[in-house]
């Protein structure tokens, strides 16, 4: 149980285009989903927290107009990288907090999406 | 500003021996700590956690020790197995769900 999927797992796009990444909780409902970014040999950096039906909360330094997050249902959150540039190339990972969890720290992670902007 | 640090990028251990992975933090507001294991092309999976009111938590072969005065925690794996080879991340939280991750330590357990 507690499986989180991401699609696509790997994407290459041209500079200036937009890319949408999906994060789904397959066997549980998630009130909160988190989006992280990981550069090579660096830690996972939290980008934003999204709650179902409300606007995402972005971390300091993360451009909300560039990284659009939509959490339209209890099992799906999307991250759209708009007008992508080579410096946006990174590994994007989502995680989901189960609605029925008794711990505020419980998160299940997706396998990640490798974005390469050329 | 790296609030959670794992100063050893890699660690090699022989099968059957103890693996000790270390983690230091700077934010005294952190009150909950977690260890995750990550294989290539997969998301992190939860291993073990510890609350700041404890100094030790054990789960099978995995034990986490917390030294609040030193702002240091460690993960002990005994005995180490080849299947334990992965990247290990420590993470910390100040109680508001958000996790701050370290840079990870790659553990290699050789037969």
> What digits encode the pLDDT tens for the residues B19-70?
999 999 999 999 999 999 998 878 899 999 999 999 999 999 999 999 999 9
Chain B residue with minimum CA distance to A47: B98
Q: Which residue has the higher pLDDT, A93 or A53?
A: A93
> What digits encode the pLDDT tens for the residues A101-111?
877 788 899 99
> What is residue A40's predicted lDDT score, i.e. its pLDDT?
81
Tell me the nearest-neighbour CA distance from B7 into chain A, angstroms. Answer: 12
Q: Do B43 and A104 touch (CB under 8 A)?
A: no
Q: Is the pLDDT of residue A43 over 90?
A: no
Whether residue B79 is preceded by a cis peptide bond, meaning omega within 30 degrees of 0, is yes
Q: Tokens 């995680």 belong to which residue? A: A95
> What is residue A1's predicted lDDT score, i.e. its pLDDT?
67
> What is residue B35's predicted lDDT score, i.e. its pLDDT?
97
Residue A43: which of B45, B46, B102 has the nearest Cβ?
Answer: B102
The set of residues, in sequence order, having a beta carbon less than 8 Å from that of B55 and lying 6+ positions away, is: B65, B66, B67, B68
> What is residue B12's predicted lDDT score, i.e. its pLDDT?
98
Q: Does B49 touch chain A (CB under 8 A)?
A: yes
Average pLDDT over residues B101-109: 95
B95 CB neighbours in chain A (<8 A) are 104
Query: What percent of chain B lies above the pLDDT cut of 90?
Result: 89
Looking at every residue in chain B, the average pLDDT score rounds to 94
- Cα separation, A53 vs A76, whole angstroms: 11
> What is residue A29's predicted lDDT score, i.e. its pLDDT?
93
Q: Does B23 touch chain A (CB under 8 A)?
A: no
> What is residue B76's predicted lDDT score, i.e. its pLDDT?
98
Q: Does B48 touch chain A (CB under 8 A)?
A: no
> What is residue A100's predicted lDDT score, i.e. its pLDDT?
85
Q: Does B42 touch chain A (CB under 8 A)?
A: yes
């Amino acid at each position: 149980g507690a499986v989180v999927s991401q699609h696509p797992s790997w994407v290459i796009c041209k500079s200036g285009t937009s890319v949408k990444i999906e994060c789904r909780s397959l066997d549980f409902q998630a009130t909160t989903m988190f989006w992280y970014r990981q550069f090579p040999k660096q830690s996972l950096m939290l980008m934003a927290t999204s709650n179902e039906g409300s606007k995402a909360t972005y971390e300091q330094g993360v451009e909300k107009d560039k990284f659009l997050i939509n959490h339209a249902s209890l099992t799906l959150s999307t991250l759209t990288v708009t007008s992508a540039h080579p410096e946006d190339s990174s590994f994007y990972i989502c995680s989901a907090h189960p609605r029925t969890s008794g711990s505020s720290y419980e998160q299940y992670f997706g396998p990640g999406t490798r974005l390469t902007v050329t | 500003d790296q609030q959670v640090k794992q100063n050893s990028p890699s660690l090699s251990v022989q099968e059957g021996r103890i693996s000790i992975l270390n983690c230091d933090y700077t934010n005294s507001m952190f009150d909950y700590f977690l260890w995750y294991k990550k294989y290539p092309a997969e998301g992190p999976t939860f291993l073990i956690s510890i609350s700041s009111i404890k100094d030790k938590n054990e789960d099978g072969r995995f034990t986490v020790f917390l030294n609040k005065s030193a702002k240091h925690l460690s993960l002990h794996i005994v005995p180490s197995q080849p299947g334990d080879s992965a990247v290990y991340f420590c993470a910390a939280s100040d109680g508001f769900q958000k996790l701050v991750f370290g840079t990870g330590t790659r553990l290699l357990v050789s037969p």
